Amino acid sequence: MTTSIDAAALAETALPHGDPHALFDAWMAEARASEPNDSNAMALATATAEAIPSVRMVLLKGHEGAETHDGAGAFRFYTNARSRKGAEIAANPRAALLFHWKSLRRQIRIEGPLSEVDAATADAYFHSRARDSQLGAVASQQSAPLDSRQTFVDAYAAAVARFEGGEVERPAHWKGFRLIPTAMEFWCDRANRLHDRRRYVFTPGAGWASTLLYP
């Protein structure tokens, strides 16, 4: 028995050659229109110096296209550098990202080294957040043991009182990080698990090259 395959769905035009950042932007725009919550949510995988991995959900807070970083582009997120992921980034500054948009049946995987954004960039984003979120960042000792929720509530109240009537100061350990991608992989669902999958690899001086992969 012969099973028919949708040749059009599997054509290379489904995941075109060229700039993967342009394709990322197009897929992100569709996700913003279709995902009910946090279309910019991504899994962030880090590892210790001993290569013990961990993963959690964070929010993408900046995307720099292929016109930046010598063609590689970048993805930005922010976190408490004293948290578990912050400690892992300090010990092993490489990471992987995963976007999964269930409503679109698509995902994007991104890999590369991490670097810290400058203080002015971190300040600008920190002060663009809701004031309550800024105060929460001041109060939280992220990933540290907590004896009771009331202790956290009291720390938040202390932060409210400390900055009443003034600007909330960004904690020095609340930082931004930039992932410079060395590889980006796009996957989209097709019938009968005959999915489309294309991997882009960046080479300094040569730019991006891509190839289809078996799903």
* Residues taking part in catalysis: 193
Q: CB–CB of 66/21 below 8 Å?
A: yes
If we measure between CA atoms, which residue out of 131, 118, 104 comes closest to residue 62? Answer: 118
CA distance 40 to 123: 21
Cα separation, 10 vs 194, in Å, equals: 8
**What one-character-per-residue DSSP string does the chain give?**
-PPP--TTTTSGGGS-SS-HHHHHHHHHHHHHHH-SS-TTEEEEEEE-TT--EEEEEEE--EEE-TTSGGGT-EEEEEEETTSHHHHHHHHS-EEEEEEEETTTTEEEEEEEEEEEPPHHHHHHHHTTS-HHHHHHHHH--TTS--S-HHHHHHHHHHHHHHTTTSPPPPPTTEEEEEE--SEEEEEE--GGG--EEEEEEEETTTEEEEEE---
